[in-house]
Amino acid sequence: MSAEARRWLERIRALPLPERFRIMNVCGGHERAITMAGLRRLLPPGIELIPGPGCPVCVCPEEDVHQAVQLALREDVVLVAFGDMLRVPVNVPRRVPRSLEQARAAGADVRPVASPMEAAAVARAEAPRPVVFFAAGFETTMAPVAAMLAEGAPENLFVLLSGRLTWPAVAMLLESETPGFDALVAPGHVSTVMGPEEWRFVPERHGIPAAVAGFTPESLLAAFYSVLRQHLEARPFLDNCYAEVARPGGNPSARRLLAEVMEVCDAPWRGIGTLPRSGLRLRMAWRAHDARARFPAYEEEGRRRAGRMPPGCDCARVVLGRIYPDQCRLYGRACTPRRPIGPCMVSDEGACRIWWAGGVAS
């Protein structure tokens, strides 16, 4: 363990800790760093790290995934997407492909990409055949998608956008009577793009301790220490434990391009329902690259499926940190990593998958 990480851990252990203290993060990247370093086992028992609504796989509405699967199967297109989305299941009858990966096994041309630039490269190579880029993610990922379009994308590239803002879901939780957490670790790279100031409403309007964290154990442990001490000294404020990258004001070019190419809109969150002004969609000026305009038929079909979760699936309440994964009726029974039903079990960083990996089997 690095000396700095150990120092933060020792400082945490030296604090007069409350009996129970729930720290929520809203970033799959944080969850991944916490899980890969095994941080949960290192912290004193009273501290609970809760994965909140911040992983594209968990919150991407089923109708968007369904639309992508149908497009891949029924149109002569190349469907490219980030690897995270290829195994997300949709609620369909048994024999029908229920994910993009199963659509590929059934003959659709589905390819994983690691960058919007690759999507553009595939489009250039496949021209004039249409290439649909299923781009799901939050502000950090939407800015590069906007940059790719603004820089000039091939004519045959169409974006099926499923963009989300991160703070609205946290605001919704804090405005409900039971937010389900005592402190927030704010997402490092969203703050890098949009600026940490976006998160000041958490301490200033709701009195909840908050700290922006990066993705190293040192930064995460420092953030845990900071919110604990804010709580103990009743001094909630927005700390920044990732100042080397998340600077005041964020990234002005990224924010300008985001505003130029996309606009904020109401958006459905899987299992949670529609949150006002929580999504991003392409502006009219970019219709020529909007897959929903190019393939309108699938738009309608997708909307009819809105909101439906697999029967008995409690992912919605797990995503919001309202219940622990093993309080869901399907957890460990019908829903396991081998046959995941809800998104929280599919995603490597979903709350249920993390509990399963921690040895909590049912």
Q: Does residue 42 belong to the site contacting other proteins (CB under 8 A)?
A: yes
Question: Which CB atom, from 222 or from 267, has the smaller least distance to other proteins?
Answer: 222
Q: For residue 14, what is the enclosing H or E element?
A: helix 3-14
Question: Which CB atom, from 226 or from 278, has the smaller least distance to other proteins?
Answer: 226
Q: Which stretch binds other proteins (CB under 8 A): 278-286, 300-308, 324-332, 343-351?
A: 343-351
| Cβ atoms of residues 191 and 242 within 8 Å | yes
Question: Which CB atom, from 115 or from 274, has the smaller least distance to other proteins?
Answer: 115
Nearest to 48 by CA among 354, 309, 297, 362: 354
| Cβ atoms of residues 209 and 186 within 8 Å | no
Structure token pair of residue 216: 């190293």
Q: Tokens 């933060």, residue? A: 8
**Mask of contacts with other proteins, 260-299, x by CB under 8 A?**
----------------------------------------
Q: Does residue 133 belong to the site contacting other proteins (CB under 8 A)?
A: no
**Mask of contacts with other proteins, 203-242, x by CB under 8 A?**
--------xx--x-xxx--xx-xx--xx----xxxxxxxx
Closest CB 115 distance from other proteins, rounded Å? 3
Q: Does residue 5 belong to the site contacting other proteins (CB under 8 A)?
A: yes
Structure token pair of residue 266: 């109401």
Q: Does residue 105 belong to the site contacting other proteins (CB under 8 A)?
A: yes
Q: Does residue 187 belong to the site contacting other proteins (CB under 8 A)?
A: yes
How far is residue 90's CA from residue 75's CA, in Å, rounded to a whole number?
Answer: 19
Q: Does residue 196 belong to the site contacting other proteins (CB under 8 A)?
A: yes
Q: Does residue 345 belong to the site contacting other proteins (CB under 8 A)?
A: no
Q: How far is CA 339 from CA 64, 77, 255, 345, 349, in A?
A: 21, 29, 40, 9, 16
Q: Does residue 349 belong to the site contacting other proteins (CB under 8 A)?
A: yes
Question: Which CB atom, from 67 or from 240, has the smaller least distance to other proteins?
Answer: 240
Question: Which CB atom, from 292 or from 353, has the smaller least distance to other proteins?
Answer: 353
Q: Does residue 70 belong to the site contacting other proteins (CB under 8 A)?
A: no
| Cβ atoms of residues 272 and 344 within 8 Å | no
Q: Which stretch binds other proteins (CB under 8 A): 139-147, 173-181, 277-285, 287-295?
A: 139-147
| Nearby residues of 55 by Cβ (< 8 Å), 6 or more positions away | 27, 28, 31, 347, 349, 350
Q: Which stretch binds other proteins (CB under 8 A): 14-22, 248-256, 272-280, 321-329?
A: 248-256
| Cβ atoms of residues 321 and 52 within 8 Å | yes
Find the DSSP H helices in 183-337.
188-194, 201-206, 217-232, 252-261, 291-294, 296-304, 315-319
* Interacting residue with other proteins among 16, 128, 252, 311 (CB under 8 A): 252
